[in-house]
Structure 1
């Protein structure tokens, strides 16, 4: 048996992890839900707060659960499932960290994160315990899989940028929030968050403008000013570059789509 892994994201395309490793992803909106996949891992991390505000993603997860997808949350991924109204009782094969731990509780996987233990359980179910144990031994031999981490200072500065999207901000201000020199701040932010502070701020502004376009009837010009983008022309330029559409078209399309995942536009990540 061969396993095929597919990485999904809200935007699709190249995504930078918090450890600055780039991976190629498909848009979750373009990924068909058949209920036949072996498992769906919903990860957490620094983008979880923004993901919780993404109505399209929450609806897609709800639909995945309805179609019988086996779902396993990783870290803050559990918050996304809770937002979608998904719990162990209502999800086919919902993995539980305690359960996956008990399956390999003999010391073999004591240094392996829950997500890998969950994957090993799939191997055991499909190919038997002997094969799963050989895979586990190769995973744990001589090392522990590292967990990506973001420092409290950088996380605080990221939240400060998100809270101040409506006004002009400088990197010097953001660096002071992190209690670092500007040069060190720029280097650390890119290393830990996987993108520059300017790109993080732009993404937050675009996320807010998308939400206001869908949830309010405010004019595009006013939305642009509210999100610190300057004007409607600038917002339209950014939408065309990063979302391959215009604010007016985006509002109209999302109004028609509602919560139908197959209708959502594929979007390009800010980079």
Structure 2
């Protein structure tokens, strides 16, 4: 079983600590078994939390050496620098190949340990300039929800930790298990927001109850066919100009941008859940040719269809009894 260690340092932000604990603890394999063993660890048995209370922690820093993944939550602005013992334990874990992730301003702890040097990283947008100023060797990206460098991951504000954790679950156990974990957390696998998503996955939102809902559902049902702006407008009973204006008002996107994301999302689903060749997936998602599909997919998702399939192909589906 994959072991996750949540490292609680003095002045830990409670939500930053609890969010990854909960989402990993709720993850279930297709047969109902837990997907992760989650442990809270600390440098000392008692940890002062931001908010005026303390925690009793059973596991020490040795839990980092035993973990497959270490998560470092954020700390209050009043927190002092992490101790040399903590930094050494993180460096040792990284040297051993352990995956290490930070939540919000927990990125500062990773930067102190030198684990972000030469890498892209993110943190809460309020603290992004400070992270860049204090650690010039880090390429700070304040406009994403999380950054995955492979072994080292960082997330933005506390809620973005859920996005990052679901991303890691999908990497570890496949999209079906991650989707179930997302439902348990009442979260989409990926979400719209003021910050960009590092990996685009979820389908564009259909505004439920709006005048656009029927036509957008029709679009999703017919992605394998050619769909024009004129066809969408005619189906909605509007002129192209009126349809485009209403569309942007209700979705924040143009019709063609929405259509493109819907096609990419369909391709991602097929790459994750089928063994169909890329040429067939290109047709099923409505791309004109495999070449156009590969180019567009790489531009939107940031990787090739083959690499995406290798990372996220679902090994099993979540059983009906485990669904909500």
**Please, what TM-score do these two structures have when normalized by structure 2?**
0.38
- When you count strand as a share of all residues, which structure comes out higher? 2
Q: Choose between structure 1 and 2: higher helix proportion.
A: 1
Give the structure with higher Rg (CA): 2
TM-score of the two chains, using structure 1 as the length reference: 0.44
